[in-house]
């Protein structure tokens, strides 16, 4: 009986051990499956977290790292002025009372356009002179005709005929002189003198108002008309920077009014004298004024670039992100693989940054809205 009981206990214990072992195996298998599923889900979530959407791809700009000659930049302060070769001052050719002013400061005018009207006694006197000169010419011509008839009849000497011809020539010259005055002054039959624009351009300065009395010896211009399709930027150069300035240097000009727009020109004049007060030398940059955006007397910041010895990897300066006391760039491999990489910057200019280490030629970096990508990857 005891033997049978022992055998029965053994069978019970054996069955329980096998069941427990099987149960433990099943638990291990379930745990492995759960762990695998969890890791797969994490990988999928991670993959989704680093995948740029189509909207984000359309908002970023990707630039390629290029090896370039290192450039340096000189920043100068200047102002916009009109091209002096295309600026004309309009002076009053007669004295009198200003009856009307037809333009204001800054107006765009055409050649021959009326600027002002002056009622002048001098114009009436010119009219009198013309009438007198024409009358004298008519009398001289009649005298010449009768003198030539008498000369042919041998009633007067040849000297009288020659004198009569000279009087006609003198009268013609006087008529031509007065007519030339009418042409220069733009006079008509009226006693009013009309001031007209000599060229197409803008009214840069205006020194006359309606009702003003003008003297015939007035030395001040009434208007200044200038063409500003091309303008100059006059910039000051410190003594220490004079050796860097070369004729024909490319120049990028920025203004307060258009801070995000670069106006490109070149140095076309170096004034090889120093201002006695500022101790600075002036240079002139010529610019095409598309859309007349640049106005005379605008403040301008001039950037002059010049080459240095050596080459380095270069990227757009806006690609650089400064964070945690380091410079970073977002290196683009694919939409799901974007690397945040530290770089050592050698020099940063207005548009280009030269990288001493951290990038290779041909790699691609995000240069627009890269901060959004940086925050998404490094939060």
pLDDT tens readout for residues 30-88: 555 455 544 444 444 443 456 888 888 889 999 999 999 998 889 999 999 998 888 99
Higher pLDDT, 249 or 2: 249
pLDDT digit string, tens, across residues 56-72:
888 999 999 999 999 88
181 & 278 share domain: no
Structural element, H or E, at residue 16:
helix 2-49
Structural element, H or E, at residue 202:
strand 201-206
178 & 62 share domain: no
217 & 239 share domain: no
Q: How do 114-119 and 192-196 pair as beta strands? A: antiparallel
pLDDT of residue 315: 95
Q: Which of 226, 242, 274 is the last residue of a domain?
A: 226
CATH number, domain of 108, equals 2.40.50.100
Helices and strands (H and E) in the chain: how many: 5, 20
Q: Is the pLDDT of residue 174 over 60?
A: yes
Q: What span, in angstroms and rounded, lies between the C-alpha atoms of 198 and 88?
A: 8
- Within 10 angstroms of residue 78's Cβ, the number of other Cβ atoms is 22
294 & 236 share domain: yes
pLDDT of residue 115: 93
Q: What span, in angstroms and rounded, lies between the C-alpha atoms of 221 and 89?
A: 6
Q: What span, in angstroms and rounded, lies between the C-alpha atoms of 344 and 346?
A: 6
Higher pLDDT, 342 or 1: 342
pTM reported for the whole predicted model: 0.57
Q: Is the pLDDT of residue 11 over 60?
A: no
Confidence of residue 19 (pLDDT cuts 50, 70, 90): low
Q: In which domain, by residue range, is 234 found?
A: 74-83+227-308
pLDDT of residue 6: 46
* pLDDT, mean of residues 180-187: 75
Task: Count how many domains the chain has.
Answer: 4
**Cα Rg, the chain, nearest whole Å:** 45
């Amino acid at each position: 009986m005891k033997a049978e009981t022992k055998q029965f206990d053994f069978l019970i214990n054996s069955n329980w051990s096998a069941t427990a072992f099987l149960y433990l195996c099943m638990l291990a298998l379930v745990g492995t499956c759960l762990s695998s599923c969890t890791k797969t889900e994490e990988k999928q979530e991670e993959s989704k977290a680093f995948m740029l959407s189509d909207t984000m791809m359309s908002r970023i700009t990707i630039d390629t790292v290029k090896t370039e000659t290192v450039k340096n930049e000189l920043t100068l302060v200047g102002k916009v002025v009109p091209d002096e070769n295309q600026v004309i001052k309009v002076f009053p050719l007669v004295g009198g009372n200003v009856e009307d002013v037809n333009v204001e400061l800054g107006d765009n005018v055409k050649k021959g356009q009326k600027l002002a009207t002056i009622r002048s006694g001098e114009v009436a006197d010119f009219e009198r002179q013309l009438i007198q000169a024409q009358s004298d010419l008519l009398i001289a011509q009649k005298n010449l005709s009768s003198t030539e008839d008498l000369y042919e009849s041998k009633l007067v000497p040849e000297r009288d005929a020659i004198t009569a011809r000279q009087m006609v020539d003198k009268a013609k010259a006087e008529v031509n002189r007065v007519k030339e005055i009418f042409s220069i002054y733009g006079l008509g039959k009226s006693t009013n003198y009309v001031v007209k624009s000599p060229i197409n351009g803008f009214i840069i300065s205006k020194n006359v108002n309606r009702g003003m009395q003008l003297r015939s010896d007035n030395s001040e211009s009434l208007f200044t008309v200038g063409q500003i399709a091309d303008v100059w930027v006059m910039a000051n150069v410190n003594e220490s920077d004079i050796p860097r300035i070369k004729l024909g240097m490319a120049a990028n000009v920025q203004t307060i009014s258009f801070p995000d727009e670069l106006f490109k020109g070149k140095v076309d004049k170096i004034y090889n004298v120093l201002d006695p007060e500022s101790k600075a030398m002036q240079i002139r940059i010529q610019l095409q004024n598309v859309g007349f955006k640049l106005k005379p007397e605008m403040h301008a910041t001039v950037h002059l670039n010049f080459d240095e010895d050596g080459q380095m990897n270069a990227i757009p300066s806006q690609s650089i992100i400064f964070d945690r006391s380091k410079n970073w760039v977002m290196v683009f491999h694919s939409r799901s693989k974007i690397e945040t990489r530290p770089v050592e910057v050698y020099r940063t200019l207005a548009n280009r940054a030269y990288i001493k280490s951290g990038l290779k030629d041909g790699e691609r970096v995000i240069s627009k809205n890269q901060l959004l990508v940086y925050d998404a990857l490094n939060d």
